[in-house]
Structure 1
Amino acid sequence: MIMKIDTLVNTSSAAWEGWNNLGYEARVRILRHWTDQLSPECRAMVEFQCRNAMEHVAKVELMPGPTGETNELYSAGRGMFVVTADSDAPLVAVVGQIAAALVTGNTIFVCLPADFVLSAKELITQLEKSGCAGGVISAINNDQLADLVSHPAVAGVAYTGKLSTTQALARQLAARDGLLAQLISETDFARLPVIGSPTYSLRFVTERTRTINITAVGGNATLLELGSGEEH
């Protein structure tokens, strides 16, 4: 049975806050548990994405503020990402996309060709057994891909495949209304220069600021958080 697009989006959106609030260390533990089920090459890719995320986006930066106020700059997941690839794309590339999207606090929809080396449902089973909550990663059919990419709630698309498809996805994302979406494309199957970049995880996050005022009346702390879905 094919789930309706709005149902898929609502389920993923409901799972996003809990997954994003889980924190980097907890997400890294889950993804490292996942590597027990992967080949050495894919295991190394997951570890690479986790290590770089911890170095480049996991740290909270303290910013100057007035006395009695604490200001923090931190990164959060953008929201929901579509992960898709051509049938001849290497599995290690797809694993890298999934790992980078998940470790940075996003939920994902996986759409893979029927003849891909591993099915989306198998990947979901592996990740849920490793500790991902239901709804954090969902499988979609190829005939749902275009509608989901066009949905205004989707934050971005991570794709491995041909340049022509990359261009078509870019046009589709540019034509839609709502949230400005990211297209993160890898077209070099041999070298994987995009997915293999140490700063790849930066493409999946947005910056947020958190202000804690400890001088409120009665000594109660008040909290204000501001974020931008268009910055990374």
Structure 2
Amino acid sequence: MHQLNSVLDQCQAVWEDWNDQTVAGRIALLQLWSDTVAARGDDFAKAAKMIRFQCESAQRLLDKVHELPGPTGETNELYTAGRGTVAITGDAVLTSAALCGQLAAALVAGNCVVVSVEDTHADKVDAVLADLIKAGCPDRVAMRVGIDALSGLLAHPHVVGLATTGTKEHVRDVNRQLAQRQGVIATLVAETDTEQYPVIGRPDYVLRFVTECTRTINITAVGGNATLLELGSGEH
């Protein structure tokens, strides 16, 4: 448990800096990551394509600020941000493509990631995380813990969501664990089809990992309703 807390504290320490990077900057870094993953050979070709797909989705959906109407003259902007630390896990059917698709979507959206998988997947996870660091990603933005830490990971208040790949039974099991946690509700994003990837392959999948934010700038004092400036200015 001490090791898990240390990992999550490290993620929390770098999350704001990662989230404050531009979406375009994260996309550029993850595209470099996809090239490194692709260089591992045919077994990782689909994983590299999945990374690029999530980057393309983020460029289309996240990489711009939307201007909203300002009924009283103010400027309103809608944009997205990461939510915090996302857990990623999976059972025996977890593939490199699913793993990299989940990682790419969570990271490009501005989240940190902690991966917890069976030992049979550990080498695969360590390989893609090493490639991520080679591409220039800060080493504490994405980290791995053992499967024995999964229950503690899902219960931890720093974890805001879980992305998992597995059978329906596996998904039900992790969903029960999430339902039993105290405090902030963590979202579950699950893929059960590793042939067609109907969830991870959706063009809006990356939106599962963001929170919407608004920024309002009050400009009424410099060109809005001038009568507002007269309030309280009567003779005494």
Instruction: Give the whole-Å Cα distance in 2 for the aligned partners of 1:114 and 1:185.
Output: 21
Q: Does structure 1 residue 43 correspond to structure 2 residue 48?
A: yes
Aligned residue for 2:119, secondary structure, equals coil
CA contact (8 A) 2:66 2:79 kept: yes
Q: How far 1:215 moved relative to its partner?
A: 6.3
Change (3 A) 1:214 1:128: farther
The structure 2 residue matched to 1:145, chosen from 141, 144, 150, is: 150
Amino acid at match of 2:46: E
Instruction: Give the whole-Å Cα distance in 2 for the aligned partners of 1:130 and 1:51.
Output: 18
- TM-score, normalized by length of structure 2? 0.85
Amino acid at match of 2:194: F
* Structure 1 stretches of at least 4 aligned residues deviating more than 4 Å after TM superposition: 214-217
Instruction: Give the whole-Å Cα distance in 1 for the aligned partners of 2:36 and 2:49.
Output: 12
CA contact (8 A) 2:119 2:146 kept: no
Q: How far 1:48 moved relative to its partner?
A: 0.6
Aligned residue for 1:140, secondary structure, equals strand
The structure 1 residue matched to 2:129, chosen from 124, 127, 131, is: 124
Change (3 A) 1:61 1:121: same
The structure 2 residue matched to 1:155, chosen from 160, 173, 177, is: 160
CA contact (8 A) 1:12 1:136 kept: yes
**Partner in structure 1 of residue 9 of structure 2:** 10
Q: How far 1:74 moved relative to its partner?
A: 0.7
CA contact (8 A) 2:36 2:135 kept: no
Q: How far 1:32 moved relative to its partner?
A: 0.5
- TM-score, normalized by length of structure 1? 0.87
Q: How far 1:154 moved relative to its partner?
A: 0.5
Look at both structures and tell me which one has the larger radius of gyration over its CA atoms.
Answer: 2
C-alpha root-mean-square deviation of aligned residues, in Å?
A: 1.8
Q: Does structure 1 residue 192 correspond to structure 2 residue 197?
A: yes
- Larger mean CA deviation between 143-152 and 52-61 belongs to 52-61
**Partner in structure 2 of residue 28 of structure 1:** 27
Instruction: Give the whole-Å Cα distance in 2 for the aligned partners of 1:171 and 1:190.
Output: 26
CA contact (8 A) 2:86 2:106 kept: yes
Amino acid at match of 1:133: P
Gaps of 5+ in 2: 39-44, 223-236
Instruction: Give the whole-Å Cα distance in 2 for the aligned partners of 1:136 and 1:60.
Output: 24
- Larger mean CA deviation between 113-122 and 102-111 belongs to 113-122
Amino acid at match of 2:126: K
Provide, for residues 26-80 of structure 1, a one-character-per-residue CA deviation record: whole Å limited to 9, x for no partner.
000110111122233222111111111121233211112233x321111111110
Instruction: Give the whole-Å Cα distance in 2 for the aligned partners of 1:112 and 1:174.
Output: 20
Instruction: Give the whole-Å Cα distance in 1 for the aligned partners of 2:48 and 2:108.
Output: 14
**Partner in structure 2 of residue 168 of structure 1:** 173
Aligned residue for 1:84, secondary structure, equals strand
Instruction: Give the whole-Å Cα distance in 1 for the aligned partners of 2:24 and 2:69.
Output: 26
**Partner in structure 2 of residue 107 of structure 1:** 112
CA contact (8 A) 1:87 1:112 kept: no
Q: How far 1:3 moved relative to its partner?
A: 5.2
**Partner in structure 1 of residue 59 of structure 2:** 54
Amino acid at match of 1:83: I
Aligned residue for 2:171, secondary structure, equals helix
Instruction: Give the whole-Å Cα distance in 1 for the aligned partners of 2:219 and 2:139.
Output: 37
**Partner in structure 1 of residue 101 of structure 2:** 96
